[in-house]
Structure 1
Amino acid sequence: MSSWKLVKLNFGRNPVHFGRLGIGMEETAERVQSDTLFSAWVSNYARLFGKAKVEELLERFPKYSKYAKNSNQESPAVKISSTFIYRQTEGKTTEPKTTYYLPRPMEFPINYPENDLDFFKTYKKQKYLPLEIWRRWYQGEGFTSKDKDELTEKTKNKQTDGNLNKSGMFDYGKTYEINKHPKIAVDRITAATNFFHTGLVQFQWENEISGLYFLLNFPQKDEKLEKELKAALELLGEEGLGGERSSGAGRFTIEWLDRLPEPWDKVIKSPGTHNTLISLFWDSPITENFIENAAYEIQERGGWIGDVNLRRKMVRMFTEGSVFSEQPQGKLVDVTPSQLIDGGKYKFHPVYRSGISLTLPIKIKDIAQ
């Protein structure tokens, strides 16, 4: 029996630095994607439970590797979404309200008008939608004339008081701030100095609380694995997630919800015609039939292996918000650098990047319309 969990990461006053391929230290993303979260989580799982235990865990995932023995598991032990922002606000006379943001699928919702020149620019800017609007557009009645009117007013820089504004659609950028902090690097040999800036994200923590959340899906309920993963995540919270951890960045506490809050249970059980990614996705082979009529973007994923200061092999992955008519599955892909492989044998251990997909069901505008 499938089991779903929602996990919140509360960073409090701790800043974070989430780097991206091709972006310098001055820039930072506001969230962590599923492959990075998986790698950091599994590394702390290994530290907590040892080499044999983590190897046993990895054998429960389908893999693609030129050297290692591929797993024959039909489904992975767990599927992990990327992290997304949540925002918790308190009203003077109402209960605290939590807004969960989800990536906007790369297809138009049902009833989306053909003539959208008056508001398309504003619509396109909304890369993340509040769950309330996401669900209505992609699982409910779809796009409405009131949505069109409100987006048109917003495009004209006019104040709006409609459902989109009340849902928090236009407040995504208010959930965090990006600050640049000056730093100096000192060469160990010459003592020469290098001045630079590091970008750090600060989530809201005073009048309102914002942070990151992600979804977990266990295809088969496994209470023992859940407890072990929760312990490893708590350890990761103490160590920190992302860069600049030596400066105290990236530390968080967790809120592990064993029961999905409303209306998440309805979201995952809703019938749909297509599937939209809420994680990164990689698989091989990818057939032409699979990507036919799909809407997707590709992102290159690389990065460093901290222990040996070598770059992982680069892979190209489907991004969050991509839409497919078939259900994507995904694999762990071997990204071990060639310097760590000798004659088909690993000098240390294989290095994997997670391409295991997690999706939500949606209904979209008929492409033939």
Structure 2
Amino acid sequence: MATWKLIKLKFERCPAHFGELGIGMESTTERVHSDTLFSAWMSSFARLYPNEIDALFNRFHDDALPAIRISSTFIYRETDKGTIYYLPRPLKFPVNYPQDNDLEFFKTYKKLNYLPLKVWQRWYQGEGFTSADRQELIARTNGAKGGNLDAEGTFDYKQAFKIEKVPKIAVDRNTRATNLYHTAFVYFEWNQNGNSIQSLSGLYFLLHFHQDDVELATRLEDALKLLGEEGLGGERSSGAGRFKVEWNDIPSDWQSVVEHPDTLTSHYLISLFWEDDVSQLLKYFLKTFKIIRLKKNRCLLQELIHNFAL
């Protein structure tokens, strides 16, 4: 029997650095993609259970029935009305979306890169886009607040975190010359009551087991807790990326999102997807970049494949 879990990563007041592709440390995203999470998680699993990691990887060879599936991480935010789970807004317009693309509300609509779960379900699985939504978006464009979308936290995504740059000094090992640079960190919303720290926001992801496997679930949870102690992302040597794990059964309001009825007409992807295998990717590099010394430097090849897959 298939099993779904919803797992929260609570960073409390610990900053994190989830670097962007490119040179430098001055940018960070607010969340982690599925490939980064899986790699870090499996590394912790291998350290905790070195004799079992090969057997676990062998269970992924069956593409139709892998041992587990995970989503990328997304923002959650605790409010006095409950927990808001944000999901990426699909490129496809919602059900009953107006065809005229009226700029009065489209300017605000296109900025909604992430939607609360309830709004996502209503727009894409329920009654769809309504005239009240249109009027509220128009009012929002003109500076007014209030309405159903506002009450559901549709416009509050960026209140769950903040990104700040921290100055740092690099010292040359030979000349002892110093160089000033900045590193960006993401801080998730939290508050403190006495000695108790409460995470008001953080990251969550979905975990799917093809069949109920209590032993594997226990080992994966232990490995994730170990990862939380070591840190996720960059700047771990500075104490960044540490989190606490909250392992939950998937809430009932998620059932319509993860279930696949026979009448399903489209799918929604919430993890990274790469359709080509490694042999095809290798041919791409050999043809495009004309790398001559790959056989002498397999580490370089593995690094290139990893970076390209991102």
TM-score bin, normalised by smaller chain: 0.7 to 0.9
Tell me if 1:184 matches 2:169: yes
CA contact (8 A) 1:139 1:270 kept: no
CA contact (8 A) 1:28 1:200 kept: yes
Residue deviations 1:242-293, cap 9 Å, x none? Answer: 0111111100001000x212311232226431001110111137xxxxxxxx
1: distance between equivalents of 2:222 and 2:250? 20
* Larger RCO (CA within 8 A; separation ≥ 6): 2
Structure 2: runs of 5 or more not aligned: 193-198, 278-284, 286-293
Tell me if 1:147 matches 2:133: yes
Tell me if 1:97 matches 2:82: yes
2:155 aligns to what SS in structure 1? helix
Aligned residue for 2:298? 341
Q: 1:23 to 1:211 in 2, by over 3 A?
A: farther
CA contact (8 A) 1:60 1:73 kept: no
Q: 1:338 to 1:245 in 2, by over 3 A?
A: farther
Q: 1:211 to 1:72 in 2, by over 3 A?
A: closer
Aligned residue for 1:217? 208
Aligned residue for 1:48? 48
Aligned residue for 2:56? 57
Q: 2:182 aligns with which of 166, 181, 197?
A: 197
1: distance between equivalents of 2:301 and 2:129? 55
Aligned residue for 1:34? 34
Q: CA shift at 1:217, angstroms?
A: 0.7
2: distance between equivalents of 1:23 and 1:85? 26
Residue deviations 1:312-363, cap 9 Å, x none? Answer: x9xxxxxxxxxxxxxxxxxxxxxxx865539xxx999xx979x8xxxxxxxx
Question: How do 1:184-333 residues align onto structure 2 when only pairs under 5 Å count?
Answer: 184-206=169-191, 209-257=200-248, 259-269=249-259, 271=261, 272-284=264-276
Q: CA shift at 1:72, angstroms?
A: 4.3
1: distance between equivalents of 2:43 and 2:211? 23
Q: 1:254 to 1:30 in 2, by over 3 A?
A: same
Q: 1:347 to 1:97 in 2, by over 3 A?
A: closer
2: distance between equivalents of 1:216 and 1:340? 36
Q: 1:82 to 1:184 in 2, by over 3 A?
A: same
Count of paired positions:
283
1:206 aligns to what SS in structure 2? strand
Q: 1:180 to 1:78 in 2, by over 3 A?
A: same
Give the root-mean-square deviation of aligned CA atoms.
2.4
Q: 1:225 to 1:339 in 2, by over 3 A?
A: farther
Q: 2:155 aligns with which of 161, 170, 182?
A: 170
Q: CA shift at 1:223, angstroms?
A: 1.4
Tell me if 1:108 matches 2:93: yes
Q: CA shift at 1:131, angstroms?
A: 0.4
Identical columns (%): 56
Q: CA shift at 1:75, angstroms?
A: 1.8
Structure 1: runs of 5 or more not aligned: 62-70, 91-95, 286-312, 314-336, 356-369
Aligned residue for 2:107? 121
Q: 1:136 to 1:35 in 2, by over 3 A?
A: same
Q: 1:238 to 1:175 in 2, by over 3 A?
A: same
Q: 1:260 to 1:210 in 2, by over 3 A?
A: same
2: distance between equivalents of 1:114 and 1:219? 40
2: distance between equivalents of 1:155 and 1:46? 51
